[in-house]
A = this chain, B = another copy of it.
Amino acid sequence: MEARIEKIKQQLQSQAYKLTPQRESTVRVLLEHEEAHLSAEDVYMLVKEKAPDIGLATVYRTLELLSELHVVEKLNFGDGVARYDLRNENHRHHHHHLICGKCNSVEEIMEDWLIELEERLENEYKFQVLDHRLDFHGICRKCRVEIQK
């Protein structure tokens, strides 16, 4: 935990940004809720518990900053709210989502299946891939079992 905070601190400082108490509280919330796909509002509520004086705008600014530094990934599942995920080592930016239309759960697939495709894009389309996003919409295992009952 502390090691990861330290690392993020260095990432910030390398771009001349400071790890202020507010930013640290925000990062801690993200660390404590990995894989949770928190919205900005969610993060705000959680940070408020520890640092009640923080302002909503600061949370938005921090998330935006961390997003630019690629510390978090800003996701959008089409429901009108941006969600923010920490990018750790195992779980870089290359993962995919299984979004269930019944229960709205989001499962993550950690493998990166698109390496070959990205090479093809470079060669055939001359498109330089910086990032990608792959979401599958459908029905998850649990809901399929439910339906069969």
A interface residue numbers (CB < 8 A to B): 74, 76, 78, 82, 98, 100-101, 107, 109, 113-114, 117-118, 121, 125-141, 144
Contact = CB atoms under 8 A, between A and B. Distances in A.
Query: Copies of this chain, how many?
Result: 2
B131 A127 contact: no
A137 B129 contact: yes
Nearest to A77: B76
Contacts of A82: 78
B131 A132 contact: no
Interface of A is mostly: strand
B130 A138 contact: yes
Given A76-B76, A117-B113, A121-B98, A132 B137 contact: yes
11 contacts: A74-B78, A76-B76, A118-B136, A121-B136, A125-B141, A126-B141, A127-B136, A131-B138, A133-B135, A133-B137, A134-B134
Contacts of A127: 98, 100, 107, 136, 138-141
Contact of A135 (B109, B117, B126, B132): B132
